[in-house]
Amino acid sequence: RKEVEQDPGPFNVPEGATVAFNCTYSNSASQSFFWYRQDCRKEPKLLMSVYSSGNEDGRFTAQLNRASQYISLLIRDSKLSDSATYLCVVNNAPGGYQKVTFGIGTKLQVIP
């Protein structure tokens, strides 16, 4: 089983739609979680951190479910500019060292 798994998509959704992505992780001791956004041929950039209590930033909501070992990203009222690949990132600390693991990313295409 991969440490971090994502559906690569693509998810093709119309403008204005709500779309949700999940990401599962295998290490129950994982400590911190993030969603990054990556535009084509560009570097990944932090979209939002995922806290235990969940967090929201405008149209974006991130949730963590430790019992089932997954994080989710919900995008409401999708915009054309949301088209990108969304990377799930999980940190854990085997032996005291922080280990950062990236999922392969989920591609979102918002259609006019």
Partner 1 sequence: DADVTQTPRNRITKTGKRIMLECSQTKGHDRMYWYRQDPGLGLRLIYYSFDVKDINKGEISDGYSVSRQAQAKFSLSLESAIPNQTALYFCATRDSRGAYNEQFFGPGTRLTVL
> Considering the complex, what minimum distance in angstroms separates the CB of residue 110 from partner 1?
21
E-assigned strands of 10-54? 11-14, 19-25, 32-38, 45-50
Q: Does 67 bind partner 1 (CB under 8 A)?
A: no
d(CA 96, CA 11): 37
Decide: is 45 part of the binding site for partner 1 (CB under 8 A).
yes
Q: Which range, of 9-17, 34-42, 59-67, 75-83, touches partner 1 by CB under 8 A?
A: 34-42
Q: Residues 30, 91: contact at Cβ < 8 Å?
A: yes
Q: Show the tokens assigned to 6.
A: 């994502």
Nearest distance, CB of residue 80 and partner 1, angstroms:
23
Strand partners, 22: 72
Residues that bind partner 1 (CB under 8 A): 8, 31-32, 34, 41-46, 49, 87, 89, 91, 97-98, 100, 102-105
